[in-house]
Structure 1
Amino acid sequence: MDHQNIRFHNVEELEPVEGGWLLRRVGAAARARISPGVQENCFATGIELRFTMPDGAVDLLLKTIPQAEAATAHIFFGSFQGGWEYSSKNIGANVTRIHIEYPAKLATLRRITAEKQLAFAPEVVRVVLPYVPVIFAGAEGRTALPAADQLPQKTYLAYGSSITHGSLSLIQPDCYVFRNAQALGVDYLNLGFAGNALMEEEMANYLVSRRDWDFASVEMGINTTERVKEFPLEVFEERIDRFTAVLARDPRPVFATSFFGYLDEDTDRTDKMRRIVRRYAAERLIFTDGLQLLDDETLISADGTHPDARGQEQIAARWSRIMAETLANRTAR
């Protein structure tokens, strides 16, 4: 979505609220067809404000709805993380002014981008928002929309739980979705929904209705493990069957995984659920068991469920390699 000469990447709707616009990844019409958890979710996971600066500097005005974790935006110039003065900025509950200027070594970044064929032109400012809710209150200074040739030509979409959402990666650029895209030289769309990746058939229909991605990944299962009354095994299996069937009808590649390693207290139930995911995803999608991507108790955070920052890094390193090899083989056919 474009607004005020800024590309609101991974945003389908700007919802008017007091003092600005709440950034919504899924529009109201689509949200209404999915579960209440998705309808209510207003996290800024995977949202970036992208623009170029004709005058070399811009001020953004942002604020957040406070959560338990810090709200820190990270600034990139194309594929390069900003230097110390423009690398990360905390966003407060009151309107926060974030001043951004182009780096002095912009010409050097252009040269490296061309030589290494990096995905983003360094003139493109990318303000990577935290996954907490963020309200856009305005911008001061001239902005312009990035040109098509300044951005990646292909896009990767990721659906999943709070792990996909980036929780406990500490910063959004360290979540496995961002790192996968970085390794593959593509753009990304993060549709992680903390606590609410419930594999609804309506969600699958929504994902395939979007024409803005070239390949996708789906992480399935963790949000249903402790909801035994709502998701007994037969209901879980029906969800997985319908969800993967919809995705399989789309010709675009879809990579799938089950539960990443976590400190499980009911291994019998989880093992049964893991086998259910494998049964349907291995037949229909490009399946990798979650334990192949992460199975190390030392890479799990103290909550017992979420990979820590190193765990996210391992998932990205392993899954991006599988993706790269699979996509290259498909292109070679």
Structure 2
Amino acid sequence: MIFQNIEFYNVDELAPFLGGWQLNRYPKQVRQHMIPGAYRAEMAGGCEIRFVTEAPKASVTLSANEREGEVVVYRGDYFHSIHRLQAGAIQTITLEDNPYFGTVRSEDRIETRYSGKLWRIFSCDFRLAFYHLESYGFGHRPPAEDEAPRLRWLAYGSSITTGSGATHTAHGYIHQAARRLRADVLNKGLPGACMCEPEVADYLADRNDWDLITLEIGVNMRGSVSSEEFERRADYLIRRVTSAHPSKPVVVLTIFPNFSTYEKNESISGVREAKYNGILRRLVQELDLPNLRLLEGTAILTDFSGLTADLIHPSDFGHTLMGENLADALSDIIGVDLV
């Protein structure tokens, strides 16, 4: 989305908010069908504010709505700074060129995905509002086509896909893998609310701005959704996306190892998790489509100690490990070399 000559990446809607604009990852017509995901769909996790300017200094005015949150700033692929926004306060962050950035020969400054001219303000998972960009007499513009990756990856899933458990959302396994694949991620993860509603399936299938999609589904549904209902929703989601995009890779992920996977005493969640994984394997096998693949969660999170102490969300180490393993698997599927 382009607004005020700025790209709001992974943003489907800019909603008026107290004189500013709240960054929503899902449009209202989809959010109204998401229970309990409507609130989570307004979180800006994985959204970016992107612009290019010749100004040596720029200021961006933002606010964290309801609760505090952090934004991570990059200059292209290069980490620049982290800024914590206090809940309910309108704050201005200042972006300045590092004096050494321009001293390196451009041909020797490795730019694997993004142009070094591109400012990227990456939001962690909270409700974020944008107010103003000040470039102090210099102009600004959204990135050109050759200043960002051509490969677009649409990622649907739980809080794990969003990046929960990592020190920062930007360190999540999806973003770790994307770095290695030279991909640009459209992260549509929904913490605690990835429920595979038919309206969400239609929304994902109707998008035409992606080249690869991963579906990390099941873990949020196992506590409240029967195996029969899960199968109906998963079947509709997979069929809808594959039929709408028969030439694009659709990758289904089974549930990553967690406390229910190896539980001592049987629980509803543990039983359903096993059934859900079996359903996903069978659906993919029965559809037998050339663009549809299944990856086992155990092949992605290969070390149980990669989880945090809640034994559900990966740690920084876990996300890094998962990103490496997923990138390896996807590179074979889509036929790209890793960085």
TM-score (norm 2): 0.88
Secondary structure at 1:30 match in 2: helix
Task: Identify the residue that residue 214 of structure 1 maps to in structure 2.
Answer: 211
Task: Identify the residue that residue 23 of structure 1 maps to in structure 2.
Answer: 23
Following superposition, the deviation at residue 117 of structure 1 comes to 5.5
Higher fraction of helix: 1
Measure the CA separation in 1 of the matches of 2:101 and 2:308. 38
Task: Identify the residue that residue 232 of structure 2 maps to in structure 1.
Answer: 238
Residue number among 111, 121, 124 corresponding to 1:130 in the alignment: 124
TM-score (norm 1): 0.90
Most deviating of 242-251 and 185-194: 242-251
Task: Identify the residue that residue 100 of structure 1 maps to in structure 2.
Answer: 95
Alignment check: 8 A CA contact 1:153 1:187 kept: yes
- Letter matched to residue 328 of structure 1: G
Task: Identify the residue that residue 269 of structure 1 maps to in structure 2.
Answer: 272
CA shift in 2, pair 1:71/1:112, >3 Å: farther
- 2:36 is equivalent to residue 37 of structure 1: yes
Question: May I ask how many residue pairs the two structures share in their alignment?
Answer: 317
- Letter matched to residue 174 of structure 1: H
Q: Aligned-pair RMSD on alpha carbons?
A: 1.8
Residue number among 265, 280, 285 corresponding to 2:283 in the alignment: 280
Following superposition, the deviation at residue 158 of structure 1 comes to 0.3
Alignment check: 8 A CA contact 1:217 1:256 kept: yes
Following superposition, the deviation at residue 191 of structure 1 comes to 0.2
Cα deviation code 1:36-93 (max 9, x no counterpart): 33333211111011001222211011111244xx6221111111112xxxx1111112
Measure the CA separation in 1 of the matches of 2:227 and 2:28. 31
Alignment check: 8 A CA contact 1:176 1:316 kept: yes
CA shift in 2, pair 1:43/1:112, >3 Å: farther
CA shift in 2, pair 1:43/1:22, >3 Å: same
Measure the CA separation in 2 of the matches of 1:290 and 1:78. 31
Secondary structure at 2:116 match in 1: coil
CA shift in 2, pair 1:123/1:201, >3 Å: same
Most deviating of 72-81 and 138-147: 138-147
CA shift in 2, pair 1:12/1:269, >3 Å: closer
- Which stretches in structure 1 are left out of the alignment for 5+ residues? none
Measure the CA separation in 2 of the matches of 1:163 and 1:186. 19
Task: Identify the residue that residue 296 of structure 2 maps to in structure 1.
Answer: 289
Secondary structure at 1:268 match in 2: helix
Secondary structure at 1:224 match in 2: coil
Task: Identify the residue that residue 180 of structure 1 maps to in structure 2.
Answer: 177
Secondary structure at 1:222 match in 2: coil
- Letter matched to residue 111 of structure 1: E
Secondary structure at 1:298 match in 2: helix
Alignment check: 8 A CA contact 1:58 1:143 kept: no
Alignment check: 8 A CA contact 2:30 2:203 kept: yes
Measure the CA separation in 1 of the matches of 2:19 and 2:311. 38
Cα deviation code 1:175-212 (max 9, x no counterpart): 01111211111211000011111122321221121111
Alignment of 1:308-323 (within 5 A): 308-323=315-330
Cα deviation code 1:159-181 (max 9, x no counterpart): 00111111111212210111121
- Letter matched to residue 258 of structure 1: T
- Letter matched to residue 324 of structure 2: A
Alignment check: 8 A CA contact 1:51 1:126 kept: yes
Cα deviation code 1:3-33 (max 9, x no counterpart): 222111011111001141111111223333x
Secondary structure at 1:139 match in 2: strand
Cα deviation code 1:283-324 (max 9, x no counterpart): 452111111111433222222221122111111110111111
Alignment check: 8 A CA contact 1:260 1:295 kept: no
Following superposition, the deviation at residue 268 of structure 1 comes to 3.0
Alignment of 1:62-211 (within 5 A): 62-67=62-67, 71-82=69-80, 87-93=81-87, 94-107=89-102, 108=104, 110-113=106-109, 116=110, 118-141=112-135, 142-211=139-208
Measure the CA separation in 2 of the matches of 1:268 and 1:194. 22
- Letter matched to residue 241 of structure 2: L
Secondary structure at 1:118 match in 2: coil
Identity %: 28
Alignment check: 8 A CA contact 1:46 1:129 kept: yes
Alignment check: 8 A CA contact 1:45 1:132 kept: yes
- Letter matched to residue 89 of structure 1: H
